[in-house]
Amino acid sequence: MHTAFSFTTLSARGTRFRMFPNGCRTRGQSVEVWTADEVIMSDWTKMSKDELERQYSPSRWSLRMSADDVIRAHVAALKSGTEKARAVTQTLIDVPYGDGDREKLDVYLPSSPSPDLPLVIYLHGGYWQFLSKDESGFLAPPLVQKGVVVVAVGYSTAPTGNMDLMVSQVRRSVACVIQQYSHISGLYLCGHSAGAHLAAMVLSTDWSEYDVSPQIKGALLVSGVYDLQPILSTYVNEPLKMTGEVALRNSPSHFLSQLKVSSTSCDIIVAVAQNDSPEFRKQSEEYFKALESAGLAVSLEDVPDTDHFSVIEQLADEHYSLTQLLLKMMGKS
């Protein structure tokens, strides 16, 4: 389903505003008229450093709780969900795909695996510097019970790892999975935030360098960053230490021609939270439009009543809209 961005939810000092096509916002009974320039999101290059950092601080846009509390709640939800997944599914933990300390996979298996199961590779978020595969099994139960293998990928977060290394690692992890599970019926990707960025880079891989040709059938990209240039001057880049050149060569939005060659038959869902920041929403909208213009099979999902964190946490729920879309993509709904 293609969801329009006509109605953008913003927050200001904890108050929810609704932006309407006519340039008005409402709060109670008061109405303020915005000019067209204020309604249309300005170019990030014209934003101050403080505004850029606010736009790229997802926790500051949650309407559920404070910035610190929403991050704590997010980590707790992922941890408890992963503990549950490990308790109710068969697992292979710390399967190496390389020699690095973080180059390991966790595999969640159906109780009665058949030789032609679909397989989902999950790439975790955390702004390329937090979280790990150890909190990334939370989405497994509703997928495994439908006969889907789930693989959570570890990679070297900053400051130990840099952006070039992380992209290389996730690409190698996919190559390893293809080699180990060549009998699967279909390979699918799912990534959140930084993980959505990494998943998009996987879709844009020249696989001739890896001696494999994975036919990725589908990808669910949730609240991702597809152009890294806006974060260069923000706190996000402090542990990453990216230069402009590094940001460009690791921005999925600059590799659409390669994506079209490598993943031409991939069904892509670009999803974004209703209460993501305007810049996060813009990143998803513009990437979706670019993929659509390139003639790829892509849809945009604007997920209501979610923020940057709840939009992925709810994949643990079999009835959640994105869980159902992922299952439908694999013919398992």
Query: Could you list the active site residues?
Result: 193, 276, 308
Distance CA 29, CA 99 (A): 61
The set of long-range contacts for 66-71, using a CB threshold of 8 Å and a minimum separation of 24, is 70/307, 70/309, 71/309
> Helices H, strands E: what count in the chain?
12, 12
* Dihedral class, residue 166 (left if φ above 0, else alpha if ψ from -120 to 50, else beta): alpha
3-state secondary structure of 25: strand
Distance CA 63, CA 60 (A): 9
Q: Where are the beta strands (DSSP E) in the chain?
A: 8-12, 15-19, 24-27, 30-33, 90-96, 104-109, 118-123, 149-153, 186-192, 216-222, 267-273, 298-303
Distance CA 258, CA 244 (A): 21
Distance CA 311, CA 215 (A): 27
Distance CA 267, CA 264 (A): 9
Distance CA 224, CA 89 (A): 28
Distance CA 333, CA 327 (A): 5
Contacts of 183 (CB under 8 A, 6+ apart): 115, 116
3-state secondary structure of 244: helix
